[in-house]
Amino acid sequence: MEQPVLADHAGRLTSRRPRARLSKVLAPYLLSLPAGLWLLALFLIPLVTMLSLSLQTCNLGTGACVMTWHWAEFGQQLSLYHAQFLNSFYYAGAAALIDLVISYPIAYWIAFYGGSKKNFFLLMLLVPFFVSFVIRTVVWNFILSDQGVILGSLKHAHLLPQGFHVLSTGYAVVAGLAYNYLPFTALPLYVAIERIDKTVLDAAYDLYATRREAFTRVILPLTVPGLFAAFLLTFIPALGDYVNQQVLGGTSNTMIGTVIQNAFQNLDYAAGSTLSAMLLAIALIGIFGYARVLGSRTIEEYL
Amino acid sequence: MSLAAAVIGDEAREAPPARPARRRRWTRLILPAYSWLIIAYLVFPIAIMIAYSFNRVTTGLPQVSFGWNGATLQWYRQWNGVPQLTTSFWLSVRLAVATTLFATVLGTLLALALVRYRPPRFRGRAAVEQVLFLNIAAPEIVLGASLLGLFVTINLARGFATLLLAHVAFSIAYVAITVRARMSGFDRSLEEAALDLYANGWATFRKITLPLIMPGIMAGALMAFAISIDDFVTSNFVSGASIPFPVYVYNSTRIGIPPQVFVFGTAIFSVGIICALASIVLSRRRT
C-alpha cells in the first residue's frame, strides 16, 4: 500500500522525494483501485451486460445474440407476467406497510425510553438475523401449517373449521415477508426518531401542546423521511423475494422473483434479463423518486 | 450510528417534561408492554426452531414433522449424520471467512479513500459512491442473475471460486459504508502529531490510524461475515455443485428437511447471540 496517511501532510518530505509525491497524488486512486476493479468486473459489467441482453434478439438454436434494441420484449414480458408483477406489488407493499405500523411504536419507545438498555433492545429487533433466512421461512411454514402450532390448536378447540388453511395463500406470503423484513423497517425508523431534537419537543410542551398534538404535529412530521426510507428499504428487497413465496405460498400467488429464477433455471436468458431490468427499474424509480421529493436527505443515511 | 447515539445522549434525552398522569400510563405501561409483545413475536419462530431440534421422529424417515412427538437429544448426538449437510455447513463457514477477509480489506481501503479525499484530489468520488449505493439498493435477484450470466459467458465453472467472487462483490459496499460511518468523527490531528514526531507514513498508519478505526473495521467484518453466511439468492445462482448451507436447506424443503438442519440453525443462533450479548455487556462495563 502506498502510504495513504502521508497524503495531506508533509510538503517538506515530498519536495525532497518526487517519487513520494507521485504516490500521494495517486493515493485516493490506489486505495480505491482493488475494490473498484472488483465491483467493476463483478457488479457493473455483468449488470450492464444483462440489461443489454434484454434488448438483444437471440437465436434459440445457436444461442447467438445480436443487439437489436428489441424493446418489444418488455411489452411482451409484461403482458405475460403482469399478474406476477401485481402480486409482488401487493405482497411486498402490504408487508412493508404492516412492518411500518408494527415497528413505529417500538422504535419510538426504544429511541425515547430505551435508556441504558437501548443496545439490548436494538439487538432484540435484530434477533431474526441470527437465524438463517431460509430456516426462518421454513419455520413459518411449520407455524402456519394446517396442523401446526397455531392452526392445529385452534382447530382442536373447534375455534376454526377443519378445512381452514393459511399456507399457500397470499396471507401466508405476506406474513413471511413481514416477519423476515421487519428489522429493515424498524432500524431506519429508530434512526429517524432517535435523531429528533428533543428540545423541539420540549418547546411544543412549553407551548401547551397536548401529548397527541406533540406527536401528530412534531414527531410524526419530523419522521416522514424516515418513514419513506423504511418503506423503501423493506419494499424493494421484498419485491424481488421468491423464497417466502416458494416456501409459504402456492401456485396461484407466484411473485416476479419466482418467474425470474425459473427463467434463468430454464436458460431463458432473454426473458430473465428483461424481467430483471424491469425489477431494477422499479427499484431505481422508487429510490430516485424519494431523493427528488425529500430533497438532499438521501436514503443512504438510514442504511 | 445507533451505538454512537446511545453513548452520547442517554442522560440528556431521558424523558420529555410536563407529563400528565395519562401520559405516564402510556409510556410506563402500554408502550413497554407492546414492545415486549413485538420482541416475543420476533423470538417466537426462533423458539420453535430450537424446540423442533429436540423433536423425536416417529415416521422412520429422518425428517422434521409438524407434530410434537416428545423430546430427544438424538439429533444433537448425530449432528453430522447427514454428510451433505455437514459438508455444506463447513463450505458456508469457509466461504464466509474468506469473504470477510477479502471484503474487509478492500472495503476498508475504499472507505479510507472516501473519507480522506474530496473531488479535486479524488476525481470520480461521487461515481464510486453511486456505485456502492446502487449495489446495496438493487434487488439481490438482479445481481445474482447478472453474475450467473457473467460466469456462463466466460465459461467459469461454478463452485467455491464463483461463490467467493460473488460474495465479495456484494459485501464490499456494506463494509465500505460501515467503516466510513464509523470513521466520520476521526481526529486527523492525532496523525499530524505522529508525523510531527517523525513517525513515517507507515508507522503512523499502523500505530495511530489503524487502532483508531479498528472498531469500524470489526463492525464491517462482522457485517460481511453475517451477510455471506446467510446469503441464499445469489448463492443459489452461482453455486453449481458446491452447495452452501442456505441453499441446502432450501433444496431440502422439497424432499424433507433432516432434523439436523435445526441443530445447525440452533448452533449458529447460539454462537451469534452469545457474542452479541457479550459485546453489549463489555461495552457497558467500559463506559
The mean pLDDT of B180-200, rounded to a whole number, is: 82
Half-sphere exposure of A216 (CA within 13 A, CB side): 5
Pick the range with the lowest mean pLDDT from A50-59, A104-113, B267-276: A50-59
The mean pLDDT of B137-162, rounded to a whole number, is: 91
Domains of chain A with CATH codes: 4-53 (no CATH), 70-302 (1.10.3720.10)
Question: Does B276 have pLDDT greater than 50?
Answer: yes
Instruction: Give first-to-last CA distance, chain B, whole Å.
Output: 17
Would you say A177 and A238 are in contact if contact means Cβ atoms under 8 Å apart?
A: yes
Would you say A125 and A190 are in contact if contact means Cβ atoms under 8 Å apart?
A: yes
Q: What is the pLDDT of residue B21?
A: 61
Q: What is the pLDDT of residue B23?
A: 61
Q: Which residues form the domain of B252? A: 83-257
Kindly state whether A114 is in contact with chain B, defined as any CB-CB distance less than 8 angstroms: yes
- Taking the C-alpha atoms of residue A199 and residue B287, their distance in angstroms, rounded to an integer, is 25
Q: At what angle do helices B210-230 and B160-183 cross, to 10 degrees?
A: 140
Q: Give domain status of residue B54, yes or no.
A: no
pLDDT band at A115 (very low <50, low <70, confident <90, very high): confident
Residue among A1, A2, A5 with most chain B CBs within 10 A, to mutate: A5
The minimum CA-CA distance between B149 and chain A, rounded to whole Å, is 7
pTM of the model: 0.86
Question: Does B286 have pLDDT greater than 70?
Answer: no
Q: What is the pLDDT of residue A52?
A: 85
Question: Does A7 have pLDDT greater than 50?
Answer: no
Identify all chain A residues contacting B17, using CB atoms and an 8 Å cutoff: 202, 205
Range ranked top by mean pLDDT from A8-12, A67-71, B154-158 = B154-158
Q: Give domain status of residue B183, yes or no.
A: yes
Q: Give domain status of residue B277, yes or no.
A: no
Q: Give domain status of residue B210, yes or no.
A: yes
Identify all chain B residues contacting A128, using CB atoms and an 8 Å cutoff: 42, 45-46
Q: What is the pLDDT of residue B12?
A: 42
Q: What is the pLDDT of residue B65?
A: 77
Output B8 or A46, whichever has higher pLDDT: A46
A 10 A CB-CB count for B215 gives: 14
- Could you give the number of structural domains in chain B? 1
Kindly state whether B239 is in contact with chain A, defined as any CB-CB distance less than 8 angstroms: no
pLDDT band at A17 (very low <50, low <70, confident <90, very high): low
Could you say which of B67, B117, B246 has the minimum Cβ distance to residue A134? B246
pLDDT band at A59 (very low <50, low <70, confident <90, very high): low
Q: Give domain status of residue B263, yes or no.
A: no
ipTM of the complex: 0.85
The minimum CA-CA distance between B51 and chain A, rounded to whole Å, is 11
Q: Tens of pLDDT along A209-238?
A: 888 888 899 999 999 989 998 999 999 999
Report CA-CA distances (Å) from B208 to A14, B108, B211. Answer: 21, 16, 6
**Residues of chain B above pLDDT 90, percent:** 47
Identify all chain A residues contacting B284, using CB atoms and an 8 Å cutoff: 116, 119
pLDDT band at A302 (very low <50, low <70, confident <90, very high): confident
Would you say B276 and A123 are in contact if contact means Cβ atoms under 8 Å apart?
A: yes
Could you say which of A29, A118, A236 has the minimum Cβ distance to residue B6? A118
Report CA-CA distances (Å) from B227 to A114, A146, B21, B130, B222. Answer: 27, 33, 46, 21, 9
Q: What is the pLDDT of residue B5?
A: 38
Range ranked top by mean pLDDT from A80-94, A257-271, B184-198 = A80-94
Cβ-defined contact of B45 to A131 (cutoff 8 Å): yes
Would you say B92 and B227 are in contact if contact means Cβ atoms under 8 Å apart?
A: no
The CATH number assigned to the domain holding B100 equals 1.10.3720.10
Q: What is the pLDDT of residue B267?
A: 94
Question: Does B4 have pLDDT greater than 70?
Answer: no
Q: Give domain status of residue B3, yes or no.
A: no
Output A93 or B201, whichever has higher pLDDT: A93
**What region does B48 belong to: left with phi over 0, alpha with psi -120 to 50, or beta?**
alpha
Strand pairing partners for A65? A58
The minimum CA-CA distance between B23 and chain A, rounded to whole Å, is 7
The mean pLDDT of A244-270, rounded to a whole number, is: 89
Identify all chain A residues contacting B250, using CB atoms and an 8 Å cutoff: 134, 243, 247
Kindly state whether B46 is in contact with chain A, defined as any CB-CB distance less than 8 angstroms: yes
Residue among A119, A190, A255 with most chain B CBs within 10 A, to mutate: A119
Identify all chain A residues contacting B14, using CB atoms and an 8 Å cutoff: 115
The mean pLDDT of A63-74, rounded to a whole number, is: 74
Question: Does A119 have pLDDT greater than 50?
Answer: yes
3-state secondary structure of B156: coil
Could you say which of A105, A182, A284 has the minimum Cβ distance to residue B42? A182
Q: What count of CB pairs under 8 Å joins A to B? A: 302
Kindly state whether A15 is in contact with chain B, defined as any CB-CB distance less than 8 angstroms: no
Question: Does B6 have pLDDT greater than 50?
Answer: no
- Taking the C-alpha atoms of residue A189 and residue A286, their distance in angstroms, rounded to an integer, is 18
Would you say A177 and A92 are in contact if contact means Cβ atoms under 8 Å apart?
A: yes
Kindly state whether A250 is in contact with chain B, defined as any CB-CB distance less than 8 angstroms: no
The mean pLDDT of B66-85, rounded to a whole number, is: 86
Could you say which of A131, A142, A276 has the minimum Cβ distance to residue B141? A276
Q: Give domain status of residue B144, yes or no.
A: yes
The mean pLDDT of A63-83, rounded to a whole number, is: 79
Q: Tens of pLDDT along A141-158?
A: 989 988 777 888 888 788
Grid cell, residue A188, equals 431506519
Identify all chain B residues contacting A140, using CB atoms and an 8 Å cutoff: 45
The residue type found at B244 is P
Residue among A14, A65, A139 with most chain B CBs within 10 A, to mutate: A139
**Residues of chain A above pLDDT 70, percent:** 89
The minimum CA-CA distance between A134 and chain B, rounded to whole Å, is 6
Average pLDDT of every residue of chain B: 86
Kindly state whether B202 is in contact with chain A, defined as any CB-CB distance less than 8 angstroms: yes
Q: At what angle do helices B160-183 and B83-116 cross, to 10 degrees?
A: 40
**Residues 172-191 in A contacting B (C-alpha not used; CB under 8 Å):** 179, 182, 187, 190-191
3-state secondary structure of A65: strand
pLDDT band at A185 (very low <50, low <70, confident <90, very high): very high
Q: Give domain status of residue B273, yes or no.
A: no
Q: What is the pLDDT of residue A62?
A: 63
**Residues 140-199 in B contacting A (C-alpha not used; CB under 8 Å):** 140-143, 145-150, 153, 165-166, 168-170, 172-173, 176-177, 188, 191-192, 195
3-state secondary structure of A294: coil
